[in-house]
Every structure is written in C-alpha cells, then in structure tokens.
C-alpha cells in the first residue's frame, strides 16, 4: 500500500510537465519552421505529430491524476510554489496546484483539445499555414492548462493574458482576410478592457488584505495554514481592514475579467466575431478553453464573490447571477434570427455561459461546473459538425443555402442532432441534468430569475432546431456538391457524441426520482459522483423541483414544436412574414434581434463620436500645448544661450583668463554678502 501511494504521489509531482509539454512543442515548431520552412511535407507532419502527441500525453497524465485522487483523496491538494519575487514583507510565487477541481478541468481541456487537433489535420490539411496553426494550438492549450494549475491570482493573471494573446493569433490566423483581422483586434481590445478590471480588482484585494499574509506567499488559492484567499478575507474582516461592501465592490470590479473572457453582457460582442478564425479554433475557444476560463476563475476564487462576514450568498454572487441571466436571455434572442451557422452556435455559447454563471451565482456551485463539463463536449461536437458542413459545401456558411444535407452527410447530421437535443435540455441527454440543476437553483434564489432561465430554455430549443432543420432537413437550396467529410474529421464527432449523451449521468442520482415533489419545493438532495469529486470538501447537492423541471421541459418542447412547424411542416409562415413584415413594431423587434441588440452600433458610435474626439482633444492639449512648448522652449533657450556665448569664444588666452578671474571675483563677493 505504501508503494502504491508513493507511486501516485510521484504521478502528481510530475504534473507540471502537462503544462510544460505544449509550450515546448510550440517553441519546437517555431524553431523548426525558422530553420527548415513550413511548406515541406516533413515539417507539416512533424508539427502535427508533435502537437497531437503533446496534448495526448497531457490527456493520459490527467487521467492518471484523476485515478490518483480517486484512490487516495488525501493526496489533494498538492501545491508546489517557486518564488518569483521576494521582498521583506511579501512574496509572489508561481507554481502548480493539483486538486479535484484542477484535475476535472485538465481532463476537459486536454480531451477536447486532443479531438480538435486530430480534426484539424483534415480541415487545415491544404492550408499553407498548417504548421503555424498547430504551433498556435499548442501554445493556446499550454496557456489554458497553466491557468488551471495556477496556485494564486498573480500567476492566474499571467496565464490569463497568455490565453488572450494566443486567441488573438488564432482568431486572426487568416490575417489577410480583413474581417478576420478586425475580429482578432476586437477580441483583443475588449478583453483588455476586462483584464484591466481584473487587475484592478486583484490589486485592490491585495491592498486590503496586505497585512494578513504575514510573509507567506500572497493571493494563494490554498494554504494548509489558512494563509489563502478565504483565510485572508476572514482575517481582514476580523481586523476591520475589510467590510462586506468593500469586498462586494472588489468582486464586481474583478468580475470584469470573467465578463470579457467568457463574453458576458456588455463585454460579449467579440465572441461571435471570433468565428472568422478557422473552425477548429472556434470549437476549442467556445467549448473548453478561453470562454471557460472565466467560469473556472470564479469557481477557483469563489470566496471573493461570497460575503465577507461568512453569511451565505452575498451581493457579489447575486451580481454574477444577474449578469449571467441577462446574457443567457439576450444571446438566445439574437441567435433566433442569425443565418451564419457558426454565428448561431457562437451566440448559443454566449447564452450557455450565462447559464453557468447563473449556477455559480445562485449557489449551485457544482451545477455551474457540471454544465461547463457537459457543454464542453456537445458544443465542441456542434462546432466541428458545422466545420464538416462548411468543408462539404466548399466554404458555404449561410443556412439559407443549405437543406437536405442529411442524405449526403449522415454522420455529421446524426451528431449535430445529438448535440441539438442535448443543448435543448431533452431528458436523458447530458444537457438536461446540468441545466435543470441550474434552473432549480435560480428559482430557489428568485422566482423571476428562474422564470427568465426557463424562458431561455425554450428559446434555446427553438434556435437550435431551427439550425438543424434548415441545414439537414427538406431539399438542398445551394449550388455546391455536398459530401461527407473524411474519417479524420468525422471520427472526433462520433467520439464526442458519446459524452454528449451520457456525461450527464455522472451528476445524477436515480434516487432523486423517488423524492421529486410537485409542491414547488426542492425534493431531498442525494449525492452524485460529479459533485462529490469536484467539490469534495463541502459537497453541495441540489434536490429536484418537479414543477420547475416540468416547466423547463415544457418550454423546450414548445420551442422544438414551433421550429418544426415553421421549418419542416411549413404550416407556420412566420419566418418570412416576420422578416418581411411592414408592421413597424414587428419589423423593429426583428431588426433588434438581427442586429444583435445594436451593441456594435452603440460601441462604434461611442468610440467615433465620444472617445476618439475626446482623445484627440486631450492629445492636442497635452502634447501640443504642454509637451511641445516645453521641448520647443528648451530648444529656444539653449539656442539663445549659444548665440550669446559664442561671442565670448574668440581664441585669446588673455581674454579667457580675465573671464575666469571675473567669475571668481563675482562669486566671492556674492558669497561674502550672502553670509
């Protein structure tokens, strides 16, 4: 037994290599390309094998870590810190934190990334930047894994920024395409706005808790002696250095980072435009990496969003839930009118991320993370299916020019249908279990909040089946020659279809069915495997609310029925009637949805008519009136002095001696009288 636990302890101690390997692979590809070039077949093959091999190693090692923590729970948390900056009063560190939450996230990131990278070989095979794309994928995966294992907020911010930089490279991969160049710049700028808030929040939190770290590494997520985020909040509150309102403001400012990274309301506009990048990166960004970073950060630093006095809930969590609900509803209404297949899925991602934040904000900690887990698989599959459709239609992305593809793309159609059913919350599929848990917690927190989430569930079913019906049912409306994608692209779809159906059962206990009540209250809560593993110290389980569950299923069924009548049975002519309506109210609502609530117009208007003119005014005032005057004035003074003194340089030694004597005499007299 001792040998066994020593072996698993060694497996944990080698876990930093999961992060290091993708970085080494990425840098190796960069060096190989610089020495040999990226166009040769050998370089392309080596790039693909190295990148896929690196993430495969990470996936296998993550599974071993999972097995280690299941067999020996006492091994977690494992923390290894290396000093980064040390002073007499505090120490910043970087390191590796391995616990159940980190291992769960590592499995999600490496599994989805592995399948995406295999799929990439078929999708990007003829692209001249094939090798470069694999380099970016490796660096992106390594950055996300580094964020997952970070031991403190300082290190998290470093990898947070690396994820943003890598996403900039990947979204703008086809840089010669103007829309892609604009999209990557938009993503970069909006994320910098959020990251500024994140950094200010971290520094503010550090300032109010500075005195309680007592020389220990600061901003830690876990410390056995209590010198971590939760302990610092408690100590600072007792010392009256921190109160409830201050922590609330800190949490809201810091939440700007997750709002931008996870595309939440007000900072969401970059994510749909990120579809300008190749489809594999769309799947990776939208499923398991960049957008999941915000969810993971809130879950990891959860005490910051709770109440400083230790009471349940808190205004910080309420703010998270409100932003999440607003995002979920807004994105669902926008997705209903879009025609680009990838953009519909992008808005769907924004909406589902809102669900996850509602779960965390409403206290369903494991529910929010469980939805992240399930969503990673079916959303990655949906994006890869859309890529297979685009590949089979020679680049076409408009669903109005599709239809009837089920005959020519049966595997893609079947997988897309599984993903659609799952995300719509159909009982028995993975999305149902996590989404119902979130809706139940939201209803318990506030019935109005729960009502918004139930309504959004109906809208989700409508726009997802709308995409499926317009793409795969009926007659083909385009002019390409549809065909199924090669096995290297369809195999990842079939693999992802399995967890898209079954992963939900990891968070479900069948005993809950016997405790369902229809009185409007939650039934008895039973433990489940997912909740017990991820939040192993203080497991939180949600009982089932029969009325909420039936309401959610009913709205989802209504969404499916309306989509079927409009796009398959054609017994409802609302689609064309709404789009071409002459009624100002109807047309206004449609355009409001189609133009994405006019957020892009609003921001561009503020930028062009407000921010840029103000910047130019300030620039003229500071640069031209102050800086230029100082510089030019210094030059004029120097020139004038030179003009005056040049007459004293006549080359006569007697004259120079007289000048020196005069200055010495004058200074002597001056000093005499001053004394």
Are residues 61 and 14 both part of a single domain?
Answer: yes
Whether 432 is covered by a domain: the verdict is: yes
Q: Using alpha carbons, select from 50, 382, 320, 88 the residue that is nearest to residue 214.
A: 88
Whether 94 is covered by a domain: the verdict is: yes
C-alpha dihedral (462, 463, 469, 471), degrees to nearest 10: -170
Strand partners, 93: 83
Q: Using alpha carbons, select from 510, 509, 515, 504 the residue that is nearest to residue 539.
A: 509
| CA gap 597, 588 in Å, rounded | 11
CA–CA distances in Å: residue 341 to residues 139, 272, 593: 28, 11, 16
Are residues 650 and 551 both part of a single domain?
Answer: no
Q: Determine contact, residues 456/326, Cβ cutoff 8 Å.
A: no
Q: Which of 587, 612, 647 is the last residue of a domain?
A: 587
Are residues 169 and 93 both part of a single domain?
Answer: yes
Whether 233 is covered by a domain: the verdict is: no
Q: Is the peptide bond before 421 cis (omega within 30 degrees of 0)?
A: no
Strand partners, 79: 97
Burial class (CB in 10 A: 0-12, 13-18, 19+), 612: exposed
Residue 24: helix, strand or coil by DSSP? Answer: helix
Residue 412: helix, strand or coil by DSSP? Answer: helix
CA–CA distances in Å: residue 420 to residues 109, 111, 378: 22, 21, 8
Residue 393: helix, strand or coil by DSSP? Answer: coil
Task: For 33-97, give the DSSP string.
Answer: HHHH-SSSHHHHHHHHHHHHHHHHHHHHHHHHHHHHHHH-GGG-SEEEEEEEEE-SS-EEEEEEE
Whether 261 is covered by a domain: the verdict is: no
| CA gap 373, 299 in Å, rounded | 13
Collect all residues with Cβ–Cβ distance below 8 Å to 344 and sequence separation of at least 6: 335, 338, 399, 463, 467
**Residue 206 — φ and ψ, nearest 5°?**
-65, -40
| CA gap 171, 181 in Å, rounded | 8
Whether 45 is covered by a domain: the verdict is: yes
Q: Using alpha carbons, select from 109, 134, 135, 110 the residue that is nearest to residue 121.
A: 134
Task: Please tell me the total count of domains within the chain.
Answer: 3
C-beta pairs of 627-630 under 8 Å, 24+ apart in sequence: none
Task: For 275-340, give the DSSP string.
Answer: GGS-HHHHHHHHHTSHHHHHHHHHHHTHHHHS-TTS-SS-HHHHHHHHHHHHHHHHHHHHHTT--B
CA Rg, the chain, in Å?
30
Strand partners, 149: none
Residue 578: helix, strand or coil by DSSP? Answer: helix
Are residues 438 and 379 both part of a single domain?
Answer: yes
Residue 29: helix, strand or coil by DSSP? Answer: helix
Residue 474: helix, strand or coil by DSSP? Answer: coil
Are residues 551 and 638 both part of a single domain?
Answer: no
Q: Using alpha carbons, select from 191, 202, 201, 193 the residue that is nearest to residue 153.
A: 202
How many Cβ atoms are within 10 Å of 607's Cβ, its own excluded? Answer: 13
How many Cβ atoms are within 10 Å of 69's Cβ, its own excluded? Answer: 24
Q: Which of 289, 318, 341 is the last residue of a domain?
A: 289
Q: Using alpha carbons, select from 409, 428, 421 the residue that is nearest to residue 467.
A: 421
- pLDDT at residue 536 in the model: 59
Helix-, strand-, coil-residue percentages of the chain, each rounded to 5: 75, 5, 20
Q: Which of 289, 323, 345 is the last residue of a domain?
A: 289
Are residues 474 and 582 both part of a single domain?
Answer: yes
Domain range for residue 629?
599-674
Are residues 535 and 640 both part of a single domain?
Answer: no
Q: Convert the pLDDT of each residue in 582-611 to its tens digit.
A: 677 878 888 888 888 888 888 888 877 877
Segment (H or E) for 98: strand 91-98
Are residues 617 and 543 both part of a single domain?
Answer: no
Whether 176 is covered by a domain: the verdict is: yes
In this structure, the chain runs to a length of 675
Whether 377 is covered by a domain: the verdict is: yes
How many Cβ atoms are within 10 Å of 162's Cβ, its own excluded? Answer: 18
Are residues 398 and 500 both part of a single domain?
Answer: yes
Are residues 616 and 519 both part of a single domain?
Answer: no
Place of tokens 């980064």: 84
Are residues 541 and 668 both part of a single domain?
Answer: no
For the whole model, what pTM was predicted?
A: 0.88
Which DSSP letter does residue 484 get? P
Residues of the chain with pLDDT below 70 are 1-3, 34-39, 288, 520, 523, 536-540, 571-582, 647-648, 650
Collect all residues with Cβ–Cβ distance below 8 Å to 493 and sequence separation of at least 6: 381, 384, 385, 388, 411, 412, 415
Task: For 139-151, give the DSSP string.
Answer: HHHHHHHHHHT-S
Whether 227 is covered by a domain: the verdict is: no
Q: Determine contact, residues 376/287, Cβ cutoff 8 Å.
A: yes
**Residue 398 — φ and ψ, nearest 5°?**
-85, 115
Place of tokens 């002519």: 573
Are residues 534 and 609 both part of a single domain?
Answer: no
Q: Sign of dihedral through CA atoms 80, 85, 86, 91?
A: negative
| CA gap 149, 479 in Å, rounded | 49
Burial class (CB in 10 A: 0-12, 13-18, 19+), 417: middle
């Amino acid at each position: 037994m001792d040998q066994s636990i020593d072996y698993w302890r060694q497996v944990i101690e080698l876990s930093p290599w999961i992060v290091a390997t993708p970085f080494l692979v990425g840098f190796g590809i960069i060096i190989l390309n610089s020495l040999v070039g990226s166009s040769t077949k050998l370089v392309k093959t080596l790039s693909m094998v190295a990148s896929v091999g690196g993430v495969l190693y990470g996936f296998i090692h993550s599974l071993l870590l999972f097995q280690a923590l299941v067999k020996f729970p006492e091994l977690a948390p494992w923390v290894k810190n290396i000093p980064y900056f040390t002073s007499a009063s505090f120490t910043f560190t970087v390191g590796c934190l391995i616990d159940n939450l980190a291992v769960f996230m590592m499995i999600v990131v490496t599994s989805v990334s592995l399948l995406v990278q295999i799929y990439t070989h078929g999708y990007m095979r003829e692209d001249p930047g094939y090798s470069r794309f694999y380099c970016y994928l490796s660096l992106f995966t390594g950055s996300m894994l580094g964020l997952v294992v970070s031991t403190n907020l300082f290190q998290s911010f470093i990898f947070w920024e690396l994820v943003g930089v890598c996403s900039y490279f990947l979204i703008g991969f086809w840089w010669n395409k103007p829309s892609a160049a604009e999209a990557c710049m938009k993503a970069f700028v909006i994320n910098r706005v959020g990251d500024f808030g994140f950094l200010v929040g971290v520094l503010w939190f550090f300032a109010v808790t500075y005195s309680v770290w007592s020389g220990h590494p600061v901003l830690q997520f876990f410390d056995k002696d209590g010198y971590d985020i939760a302990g610092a909040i408690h100590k600072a509150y007792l010392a009256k250095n921190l109160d409830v309102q201050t922590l609330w403001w800190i949490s809201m400012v810091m939440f700007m980072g997750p709002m931008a990274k996870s595309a939440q309301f007000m900072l969401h506009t970059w994510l749909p435009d990120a579809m300008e990048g190749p489809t594999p990166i769309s799947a990776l960004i939208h499923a398991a990496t960049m957008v999941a970073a915000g969810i993971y950060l809130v879950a990891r630093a959860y005490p910051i969003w709770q109440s400083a006095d230790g009471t349940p809930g808190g205004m910080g969590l309420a703010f998270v839930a409100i932003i999440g609900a607003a995002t979920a509803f807004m994105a669902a209404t926008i997705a209903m009118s879009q025609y680009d297949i990838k953009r519909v899925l992008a808005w769907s991602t924004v909406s589902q991320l809102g669900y996850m934040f509602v779960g965390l904000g409403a206290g369903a900690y494991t529910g929010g993370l469980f939805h992240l887990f399930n969503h990673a698989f079916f959303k990655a599959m949906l994006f890869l299916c859309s890529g297979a459709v685009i590949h089979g239609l020679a680049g076409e992305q408009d669903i109005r020019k599709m239809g009837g593809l089920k005959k020519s793309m049966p595997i893609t159609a079947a997988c897309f249908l599984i993903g659609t059913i799952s995300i719509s919350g159909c009982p028995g599929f993975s999305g149902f279990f996590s989404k119902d848990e979130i809706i139940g917690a939201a209803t318990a927190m506030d019935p109005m909040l729960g009502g918004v989430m139930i309504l959004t569930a109906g809208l989700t079913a409508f726009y997802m089946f709308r995409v499926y019906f317009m793409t795969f049912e009926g007659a083909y409306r385009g002019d390409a020659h549809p065909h199924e994608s090669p096995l290297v692209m369809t195999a990842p779809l079939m693999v992802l279809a399995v967890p898209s159906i079954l992963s939900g059962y990891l968070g479900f206990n069948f005993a809950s069915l016997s405790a369902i009540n229809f009185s409007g209250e939650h039934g008895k809560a039973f433990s489940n495997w997912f909740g017990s593993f991820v939040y192993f110290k203080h497991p939180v389980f949600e009982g089932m609310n029969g009325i909420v569950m039936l309401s959610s299923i009913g709205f989802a069924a209504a969404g499916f029925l309306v989509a079927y009548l409009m796009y398959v049975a054609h017994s409802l002519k609302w689609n064309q009637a709404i789009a071409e309506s002459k009624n100002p109210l109807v047309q206004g609502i449609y355009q409001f949805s189609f133009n994405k609530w006019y957020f892009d117009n609003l921001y561009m208007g503020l930028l062009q008519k407000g921010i840029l003119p103000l910047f130019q005014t300030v620039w003229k005032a500071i640069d031209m009136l102050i800086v230029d005057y100082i510089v030019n004035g210094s030059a004029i003074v120097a020139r004038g002095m030179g003009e005056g003194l040049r007459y004293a340089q006549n080359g006569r030694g007697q004259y120079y001696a007289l000048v020196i004597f005069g200055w010495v005499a004058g200074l002597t007299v001056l000093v005499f009288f001053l004394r």
